[in-house]
Structure 1
Amino acid sequence: MNITDQIALVTGANRGIGRQFVLELLDRGARRVYATARRPESLDFDDSRVVPLRLDLLDHESVVAAAATARDVTLLVNNAGIATGAPLVTGELIEVRREMDTHFWGTLDVIRQFAPVLAANGGGAIVNVLSALSWFAGPGTGAYSAAKAAEWNMTNGVRLELAAQGTLVQGVLLGAADTDITADYDGPKIDPRDVPRRSLDGLAAGSIEVIVDDWTAMVKASLADDPAPFYTRVTEMLGAS
């Protein structure tokens, strides 16, 4: 996919990686970008090609309304997410469910509503922003990791189902980016601008999976081995016992 003249929609576009996706799409010549947020008044892009739009992953009617408005979309970027920090066993169950409702059910809802739109416009592409935590869990990441694991394999399933209509589905996996959601994390962080750059370069090459950083590449490489040494290493690195 050549981004020039594409019409994109980005969820969670008011800050962090989502905001960087909007800016990178504009830099690469997108004709229009629907920038969505739960509160569209929080969007502050100074470019006439940006169309603010309300979309809340936990509000099905807002998803339906967004798809009805943005009927010309050729590229869907599913970026919106949360991180509650809820443990699976001792955390508030409502928070655990909110992680799954957001990352799995909410993202799937958006895909289901926009798949016919993409089909009508020639197929296009979907980008799902995932995480290295799709493949492992760390201290305090139980609910988030479980939800991202579900979203990762949902991405694989959706890719197979939408291949016949010509829609490329790309998963983008990364470690920690320097955004608000990782403000309390003291480990190494990548520049959030690297995420859309690598993703959109991947779309140009037809890549269905993009590994943004070395940390995520290491996690993926460990999956074929005994997990015990990997988890020993991770807990030591993260300062957990």
Structure 2
Amino acid sequence: MEIKDSVVLVTGANRGIGAEWVHQLRERGAAKIYAGARDPRSVVCPDDRVMPIALDVTARGQVLAAAELANDVQIVVNNAAVSYRQPLIGGDVDRIHAEFETNVFGLVYVTEAFAPVLRANGGGAIVNALSAVSWFSFPGMAGYSATKSAAWNLTDALRLELADQGTLVVALHSGAVTTPMGDNFPIDKIEPTQVVSAALDGLQAGQTEVLADDISRVIKSTLTSDPSRYAAILGG
């Protein structure tokens, strides 16, 4: 999938990894970038290629309106996410609901709305920002980890469902990143630049899965219920 001259939608584009997506897409020559955020005024617009749009991925009506507006999109980056550091037992169940609504159902709402747009524009691609915790429940982050595991499974399903229309579906995994969300993970972190660069390289190469760092590669290689796998990450 070519990045140069492409039209891209990025959700959660106002900060962290989302802002880095906008930056690197510009660097690689994207023709237009729809930068979705709950508050579009929070999006940095270095030039007229960046078009902020109001996009709360949990609001289906707003998602559908975005798809009608951005009907020239060729690449969708499902980046928007929330996380809360709390225990599963004794934690706030409403916060777990909120994590699923954004990280899982938001991904479904956006993909459902934009799949016909991508089909009309030749197939294109979808990049789903997942995590190493798709395969690993991080202590104190069970709700968030569960959402990423669900999103991983949904990504596989979407890849199968959209294959006939020629849409590439990419699963992007990484460990903790130096962002406000990444502060919830008290372990070594990588920079957003590394994650987005790996994702764009993989997208251009037509890869269906991108492992952006050593942690995601280690976890993927040790998929098991054996508790000893946690030692590689937590140093136990």
Matched, 1:32 2:32: yes
For normalisation by structure 1, the TM-score amounts to: 0.94
* Distance (whole Å) between structure 2 residues aligned to residue 226 and residue 2 of structure 1: 39
For normalisation by structure 2, the TM-score amounts to: 0.96
Residue by residue, what CA displacement relative to the aligned partner does 1:6-30 show, whole Å, maximum 9, x if unpaired?
A: 0000000000101101111111110
Are the equivalent residues in 1 in contact too, given 2:78–2:127 (CA < 8 A)? yes
Comparing 82-91 and 60-69, the one that deviates more: 82-91
* Distance (whole Å) between structure 2 residues aligned to residue 233 and residue 170 of structure 1: 26
Are the equivalent residues in 2 in contact too, given 1:74–1:125 (CA < 8 A)? yes
Amino acid of the structure 1 residue aligned with 2:172:
V
For this pair of structures, how many residues does the alignment match? Answer: 236
What SS does the corresponding residue of 2:47 show, helix, strand or coil? coil
Comparing 181-190 and 158-167, the one that deviates more: 181-190
Task: Report the CA distance between 1:124 and its aligned residue.
Answer: 0.1
1:23: which partner in 2?
23
Are the equivalent residues in 1 in contact too, given 2:215–2:233 (CA < 8 A)? no
What SS does the corresponding residue of 2:181 show, helix, strand or coil? helix
2:141: which partner in 1?
141
Are the equivalent residues in 2 in contact too, given 1:138–1:234 (CA < 8 A)? no
Amino acid of the structure 2 residue aligned with 1:219:
I
2:219: which partner in 1?
219
Gaps of 5+ in 1: none
Are the equivalent residues in 1 in contact too, given 2:82–2:181 (CA < 8 A)? yes
2:229: which partner in 1?
230
Amino acid of the structure 2 residue aligned with 1:229:
S
What SS does the corresponding residue of 1:64 show, helix, strand or coil? helix
What SS does the corresponding residue of 1:183 show, helix, strand or coil? helix
Task: Report the CA distance between 1:86 and its aligned residue.
Answer: 3.3
Let me know the Cα RMSD of the aligned residues. 1.3
Task: Report the CA distance between 1:58 and its aligned residue.
Answer: 1.6
Residue by residue, what CA displacement relative to the aligned partner does 1:98-121 show, whole Å, maximum 9, x if unpaired?
A: 111111111110000000000000
* Distance (whole Å) between structure 1 residues aligned to residue 85 and residue 46 of structure 2: 34
Residue by residue, what CA displacement relative to the aligned partner does 1:124-144 show, whole Å, maximum 9, x if unpaired?
A: 000000000110112111000
Amino acid of the structure 2 residue aligned with 1:211:
L
